[in-house]
Structure 1
Amino acid sequence: MDGDSVPPAIERFIEYLRIKTVQPEPDYAGCREYLRRQAAELGLGFQAHEYVAGKPVVVLTWAGMEPEAGSVVLNSHTDVVPVFPEFWSHPPFEAARVAVAGSGGDYRIIARGAQDMKIVGHCYLEAIRALRARGERVRRTVHAVFVPDEEIGGADGMARFVESREFAGLNAAFALDEGIASPGDGLRVFYGERAPCWARFVAHGQTGHGSQFIADTAAEKLVPVIDRLMALRREQLADFRTPNADGSAKTLGDVTTVNLTMLQSGVQHNVVPESASACFDIRMTPTSDYRAFRRWLEALAAEHGAQLELVQFWDDNTVTPTDASNPFWVAFEAAVAAQGIAIEREIFPAATDSRYLRRAGVPALGVTPLRNTPILLHDHNEYVLQSDVLNGIAFYERVLAAVANVPGP
């Protein structure tokens, strides 16, 4: 690290990034102890719940002046995706702080998890630190929640937590979670997300010598299924390329994407295979009827004599209101506008833990306070600027003070 003075908030961020919470063997124990120390420094309540051994859900609590009022949940996940170290300019868990030439003193902090999403969880805590240092108090209790396993679906993390008595005890009324960096000047805010549908079609048929016209083969059953799903892909791509009625461009969240991701069949060129399978990664826009889509997939498989396995399927398309009916949205929008930032409302193109919160009845917004920044989540040389971190802390100071003081139950 360079010999200049490093802001304490950046030192703590680097310490957090250096904890190797990388799948498939994340250091959750080290992360829990780091968060325990942060809670002690900040004077926050600390709890760690394990619904699956070795996978703690950590909750840091700032008690509000009116504990009976619904609380605010600041959610983030602690795990990060695997790396290919040979493609990184610096070791991905060193959290190197590298001066940016011509920036007037800014630095890149290069580390896995810098964007996805340790910056968000860190900024939550630093915003609380700043507010408490000024002697500010909040009406609603605030819970900073750090969950495991989001990067592998959240089944052992948020999915179990929202079903627990501990979650019910939070009395959550509103939540913030992760978003995506914006390459432009606007702030991307996600009020819903597309649902994952991972579908595997398997067909079985007659086998034999490849020189014959063998009837009822696996391929004959599977190909029409593939054709119909690829036709749906073309239809949705055409819709994606068609502007909205107001002339604005559609985002990925506005359509359903279909991608053929795996094909498996055959043992040898001259042997007709007994079985064939095709896997699709489908992300369904919440404006569609998920259950009706599932029935369509089932009918498609049955029509052609194939079997359908839904490896993953999400059937709830709840979205968070972004109008005057939602007082938390009103407070959030005003706090962002007061900072001179324009909001770009979107449907999240992939899946986050927000879907579990929304299904549990907690309105949630996904936001990562990174603007004019390349999207580097899951990429080599993932980084954020030091100024991004400091600006993110200031962003959450304003937002947290607003949403945690919303009147009402």
Structure 2
Amino acid sequence: MSEDIAVTKFREYLRVNTEQPKPDYHACQKFLYSLADELGITRTSHEMVPGKPIVIMTIPGVEPSLPSLIFYSHTDVVPTFKEHWTYDPCSAHKDEHGRIFARGAQDMKCVGSQYFEAIRRHFLRGKRQFRRTVHLVWGPDEEIGGRDGMGKFVDTDEFRTLNVGFALDEGLASENEARAGKFWRKCANLGLQAFEVIFTGGTGHASKFVENTAIEKLHKFMDCALAFRAKQKANLDGNPDLHDGDVTTLNITVIEGGVQTNVVPEKIVIKVDCRVALTEDFYELEKRIRGWCEDDGVTLQFRSKSTMRIVTPTTRDDPWWAALEDVLDEEGCPFTKEIFPAGTDSRYLRAKGLKAIGFSPMINTPSLLHDHNEYISESTFLRGVEIYEKLIERLADLA
């Protein structure tokens, strides 16, 4: 049985290894250029930092003075632990059930591919132009904050010439049919996004009761941090009306220190990821975290901090939202409007006053972004192409 070209090209894209921390952006750009060249789409690239290209495919509109559309996706993916995968995460293996296993299958090479394949279908039907200009934008480094990609690009003349009016970005998979992807109204939980705590103390032979150790100070910090985390989780679990993006999450993600088993470590460094809910007071939370670090020999350093509270409208009086909602209703795609529980590059667009919505058409699919054995089914992927085919046309032809 022959495979739909959309699936074939998607699997080829998945095989381009863009895994952090050493994504092969050169190979990725070459692949994306080959896609654009297949359809005769103008493509350019811009590097804010050498070796980290933003690739832009542009379909000029009939009325180019109208604000344009960005259909955005990031090209990098998070690291994998191959020993926990059934199939090689760069193989894009398709099993007998039509499930395509690869890093990026959900987050978010599927969405970028669905945009492009929707455009391919329009071109095959003979529609090679819309009322508004359409830009397919492929950005680097989103998985490590996007500062060298979209974070810098939005401040350039090249970005301003795009004349952006509205953008779509990624959402999340939904494990049932009641939520055809997740919509988000804000780049949520981006308050004190990332910080580092350094603990220093006494050292010596591990056979001794060394006083004032870094480990003791770490233990005190963890007691406070985990108690806060447990309270947030209890709030989420105790209220069925709340979703992940409605509470503040805090996780210790990296612990570094020690030299060998018989030496008490003089220094321990931890890294913490904290996503701040809209209802949380950023400054009070920062004050609380600093209180956990008041001991001598404890240093707090913020690596990424944002206090944005920018919300994209999701009401019928907004023409972008109304058009999007109409398409989903027509396609029989129930949805919920939720706060996205992570950070995406759309926060840089919102910071410039632009409207952006996140959506990934993945239903009946377990959310496996950043997890082992990430996959999307062939049928779900192709259904997403159909939805974007209609969605792109409706938005791009909006008066």
Structure-1-length-normalised TM-score? 0.86
Change beyond 3 A, Cα 1:31–1:221: closer
Match of 2:84 among 84, 87, 95: 87
| Matching residue's letter, 1:240 | L
Q: Which residue of 1 aligns with 2:49?
A: 52
* Other structure's SS at 1:115 match: coil
Match of 2:245 among 234, 239, 253: 253
Change beyond 3 A, Cα 1:131–1:91: same
Q: Which residue of 1 aligns with 2:184?
A: 190
| Matching residue's letter, 1:60 | M
Please report the RMSD computed on the Cα atoms of aligned residues, expressed in angstroms: 2.7
* Other structure's SS at 1:92 match: coil
Kept in 2: contact 1:183–1:372 (CA 8 A): yes
| Mapping for residues 25-40 of structure 1, pairs under 5 Å | 25-40=22-37
| Matching residue's letter, 1:346 | E
Kept in 1: contact 2:203–2:210 (CA 8 A): no
Q: Which residue of 2 aligns with 1:340?
A: 332
| Matching residue's letter, 1:280 | V
| Matching residue's letter, 1:198 | A
Kept in 1: contact 2:254–2:270 (CA 8 A): yes
| Matching residue's letter, 1:359 | A
Match of 1:15 among 12, 16, 22: 12
Kept in 1: contact 2:217–2:295 (CA 8 A): no
The unaligned stretches of length 5 or more in structure 2 are none
Q: Which residue of 2 aligns with 1:287?
A: 279
Aligned-residue offset at 1:142: 0.9
Aligned-residue offset at 1:97: 2.8
Measure, in 2, the Cα distance between the counterparts of 1:270 and 1:27. 41
Kept in 2: contact 1:286–1:318 (CA 8 A): no
| Mapping for residues 152-171 of structure 1, pairs under 5 Å | 152-171=144-163
Measure, in 2, the Cα distance between the counterparts of 1:224 and 1:91. 41
* Other structure's SS at 1:329 match: helix
Measure, in 2, the Cα distance between the counterparts of 1:309 and 1:279. 10
Measure, in 2, the Cα distance between the counterparts of 1:146 and 1:261. 27
Q: Which residue of 1 aligns with 2:356?
A: 364
What are the Cα deviations for residues 160-203 of structure 1, in whole angstroms up to 9, with x where unaligned? 11122111111111111111111010222122221152233334
Structure-2-length-normalised TM-score? 0.88
Measure, in 2, the Cα distance between the counterparts of 1:212 and 1:39. 65
| Mapping for residues 144-159 of structure 1, pairs under 5 Å | 144-159=136-151
* Other structure's SS at 2:358 match: strand
* Other structure's SS at 1:59 match: strand
| Mapping for residues 117-266 of structure 1, pairs under 5 Å | 117-136=108-127, 137-185=129-177, 186-187=179-180, 188-192=182-186, 193-195=188-190, 197-204=193-200, 224-243=220-239, 248-262=240-254
* Other structure's SS at 1:323 match: coil
What are the Cα deviations for residues 321-354 of structure 1, in whole angstroms up to 9, with x where unaligned? 2113422111111110110111111111122112
Kept in 2: contact 1:18–1:93 (CA 8 A): yes
The unaligned stretches of length 5 or more in structure 1 are 101-106
Kept in 2: contact 1:36–1:46 (CA 8 A): yes
* Other structure's SS at 1:99 match: coil
Which structure's CA Rg is the greater one? 1
Aligned residues: 393
Change beyond 3 A, Cα 1:323–1:305: farther
What are the Cα deviations for residues 353-394 of structure 1, in whole angstroms up to 9, with x where unaligned? 122221222211111111001222223332222212211111
Measure, in 2, the Cα distance between the counterparts of 1:84 and 1:203. 29
